[in-house]
Amino acid sequence: MTRGLLIVVSGASGTGKGTVCKKILTDLPEVAYSISATTRTPRPGEVDGREYYFLSVDEFKAWIADEKFLEYAEVYGNFYGTPLNKIEERLNRGEDILLEIDVQGALNVKRKCPEGIYIFLLPPSLEELKRRIEGRGTESPESLSRRLKNAVAEIKIGLEYDYVVVNDSVDKAVAEIKSILTAERLKVARNADKFKLGEDFK
């Protein structure tokens, strides 16, 4: 069984990573989202291990103590986390796992999982980034300026990633990510078994 790919997609706010990741999941049936763990109560129809791994607070804290999380946070009294143990299980079953994560979070993941594929999305231009951030709502000019400044600072962090994809069109960005995944699957390091071809030859 070939181990699956851990695909980490990130980018400064306003680069459209949510839209790109949704399309990856639609277009590439072999890729599945990472499933988070949470302590919140399941809603009707939610299945443990499908929408979330549902844990008690004690279980969640035990997972924290056992360093099972790539990252976790408390939001409005509930815990949410990305469980590395579950990702590992799925990768070992040959599943490709997509992780959509903020810029700094992705670098933390990279330290723990250097064999992952780290893809950074860039906006096509500074003007387009401004337009996208402004288009989101009715924030004050000061808040917009701060968010733009943060986005520009986050872009520098992209130099720590493996690949950079300019998101000027979602279709083009997803096609490029598809090529990245094809190439990564062809790396010699992931295909040692193919070289056993001649071993039964005398």
Does residue 194 interact with a second copy by CB under 8 A?
yes
Rounded Cα distance between 37 and 83, Å, is 7
Residue 135, Cβ neighbours under 10 Å: how many?
A: 8
Does residue 176 interact with a second copy by CB under 8 A?
yes
Q: Tell the smallest beta-carbon distance from residue 129 to a second copy (Å).
A: 8
Structure tokens at 37: 């763990």
Considering only 31-39, 52-60, 64-72, 183-191, which stretch makes contact with a second copy by CB under 8 A?
Answer: 183-191
Does residue 76 interact with a second copy by CB under 8 A?
no
Question: Which of 7, 9, 21, 148 forms a contact with a second copy (CB under 8 A)?
Answer: 148
26 CB-side CA count, 13 A: 10
Contact between residue 126 and residue 33 where contact means Cβ atoms under 8 Å apart: no
Considering only 2-10, 65-73, 88-96, 184-192, which stretch makes contact with a second copy by CB under 8 A?
Answer: 184-192
3 state DSSP class of 104:
helix
Instruction: Give phi and psi for 187, each to the nearest 5.
Output: -65, 140
Residues of the shown chain interacting with a second copy in the complex, contacts defined by CB under 8 A: 120, 122-123, 125-126, 129, 148-149, 151-153, 155-156, 158-166, 176, 178-180, 182-184, 186-188, 191-192, 194-195, 197-198, 200-201
